[in-house]
Chains A and B, each alone.
Chain A
Amino acid sequence: MSNPSYPDVVQWAVPFFIIAILIELVWILIKGRGGRYETRDALTSLIMGAGNVATGIALGFVGLGFFMLLWALTPLDLGTGWWVVLLCFVLDDLRYYWVHRFGHRIRWVWASHVNHHSSQHYNLTTALRQTWTGTFTMMMVLRAPLILLGFHPAMVLFCGGLNLIYQFWIHTEAIGKMPRWFESVMNTPSHHRVHHGRNPRYLDANYAGVLIIWDKMFGTFVPELDTEKPQYGLVKNLGTFNPIRVAFHEWVGIFRDILRPGLSLRQRVLYAVAPPGWSHDQSRDTSEQIKRKHLAQNPQDRDTPGFEGL
């Protein structure tokens, strides 16, 4: 079996990230539009990004060890041809779609991903507001099929890195819409602004990493409407910039809920694995309930994008 070597592209992209943030900032200052920056918000996002790199270095061995174990088990080896890398990239993007979708629909995974949505801003620093606790979600198992099919773990991680780098530039309000052909196939700033919107219409939409076709295939695509600007952040926004609290608040919430007295075992499990907002006493709302409440007050929105089938 071959043992290919690929660069850690995310680390190599760090200088590009810094330059691009400065360019976006200058653009906003010159044009007076195209996004907003605030010191503590940006600082928190950047610290979350640095922490993500640090935890990746510290805990990366868990995922890598798992992948190398699978690689030792599989009899398949697709090699390192360019078409294999391309195929790996597309399949890994499909894998990303589902990890991301689970990240919004399973509270245990949301606990890791929530911090990425915790800024009320949407600029290039928001892209770097990444999780510190991804390893604990065990979502690495979704990469197992790729490795068992014969894609080398190093190639899979390389493609995952490229995927993350692609997603950096779409975290901006400085770009309106891309050409129509591009918007129809690729994930773009417009599509991803929808994903970050807390508006009922935009909740649980556009999970794509690079190719927006996955959302169109699996019924989660919602276009950005000119009539409804996304409001960024969480359904219930954080009242702190403390990176520790940003990183761990949903985990704390899960454990507090699980340990509440008087619950059945099923209810305790559901507090961990049900969609965010689920509660045993209906005291909170899931995104679906938020959408239904919105429709009850705004019936004219029924069957419009984001509210179909409700």
Chain B
Amino acid sequence: MTLTVLLLLVAGGIAGIAVLLHMLGMSKPHIFEDEAEVKSVWLAEYPDTLVRDVLLSENRHFALISSSAGKGIVWPMGADGAARLLLGVEITDMPYGLELSLPDYTAPEIRLKLDPGEAKAWRRQIQEAP
């Protein structure tokens, strides 16, 4: 197989599958069912912590966690969830809500799509002492 044919196959295959999945509606970010689901995502990442409180966003895409290890966030990773403690977080106001920047190579930016009022309240809560 020539390199040109291989390149065309690979590029065409990747683009075709991605477009197909998107058109089939498989790009929608995960919506968390309830606080219990959020808690299970959190505890899967931080099993040694205790969850004190879960604040689910109105769109149920994000959750603010109060844990024994400090404040944390749960957000959709595609059709699943991810969780991080908010140690060293920097918060930026954005038109869509808030952007959280973390000193974490595996989760450097988390974009929280929140209503303006909700964004303001979340910013305040994140900045509060744990």
Using a CB–CB cutoff of 8 Å, the interface residues on chain A facing chain B are 8, 11-12, 14-15, 17-18, 21-22, 25, 29, 36-43, 46-47, 50, 53, 57, 120-121, 125, 198, 231, 233, 236-241, 245, 249, 252-253, 293
> Nearest Cβ in chain B — how far from A162, in angstroms?
16
> Nearest Cβ in chain B — how far from A12, in angstroms?
6
Q: List 9 A-B contacts (CB under 8 A).
A: A14-B6, A18-B13, A22-B20, A37-B26, A38-B27, A38-B78, A39-B27, A121-B80, A252-B105
B78-A241 in contact (CB<8A):
yes
**What residues on A are CB-neighbors of B45 within 8 Å?**
236-237
A121 to B16 Cα, complex, angstroms: 19
**What residues on A are CB-neighbors of B9 within 8 Å?**
14-15, 18
A30 to B12 Cα, complex, angstroms: 25
A239-B110 in contact (CB<8A):
yes
> Nearest Cβ in chain A — how far from B103, in angstroms?
10
The 8 Å CB contact of B26, one of A15, A39, A57, A237, is A39
> Nearest Cβ in chain A — how far from B65, in angstroms?
14
* Beta-carbon nearest neighbor of A47 in chain B: B14
A14-B13 in contact (CB<8A):
yes
B82-A237 in contact (CB<8A):
yes
Contact bitstring B1-35, A, C-beta under 8 A = 1, else 0: 10100100111011011101110101100000000
A120 to B45 Cα, complex, angstroms: 13
Top 3 closest pairs, chain A to chain B, by CB: A239-B107, A38-B78, A39-B27
B117 within 8 A of A: no
* Beta-carbon nearest neighbor of B24 in chain A: A29
* Beta-carbon nearest neighbor of B6 in chain A: A11
B123 within 8 A of A: no
* Number of residue pairs spanning A and B whose beta carbons lie under 8 angstroms apart: 102
Q: How many residues of B contact A (CB 8 A)?
A: 34
**What residues on B are CB-neighbors of A253 within 8 Å?**
105
**What residues on A are CB-neighbors of B22 within 8 Å?**
39
A237-B77 in contact (CB<8A):
yes
Known contacts A18-B13, A38-B78, A53-B10, A11 near B1 by CB under 8 Å: yes
A39-B106 in contact (CB<8A):
no
**What residues on B are CB-neighbors of A238 within 8 Å?**
77, 82, 106-107
B50 within 8 A of A: no
B106-A120 in contact (CB<8A):
no
* Beta-carbon nearest neighbor of A256 in chain B: B105
A253 to B107 Cα, complex, angstroms: 13
Interface residues in B107-130 (C-beta closer than 8 Å to A): 107-108, 110
B17-A240 in contact (CB<8A):
no
Interface residues in B33-70 (C-beta closer than 8 Å to A): 44-45, 47-48
B107-A42 in contact (CB<8A):
no
**Of B20, B48, B78, B107, which is in contact with the most chain A CB atoms at under 10 Å from its CB?**
B78
> Nearest Cβ in chain B — how far from A49, in angstroms?
8
A198 to B32 Cα, complex, angstroms: 21
B90 within 8 A of A: no
**What residues on A are CB-neighbors of B110 within 8 Å?**
239
Known contacts A39-B27, A40-B78, A239-B104, A8 near B1 by CB under 8 Å: yes
A11 to B3 Cα, complex, angstroms: 10
**What residues on A are CB-neighbors of B26 within 8 Å?**
37-39
* Beta-carbon nearest neighbor of B2 in chain A: A11
A11 to B27 Cα, complex, angstroms: 29
A43 to B105 Cα, complex, angstroms: 20
The 8 Å CB contact of B1, one of A12, A43, A236, is A12
A231 to B45 Cα, complex, angstroms: 12
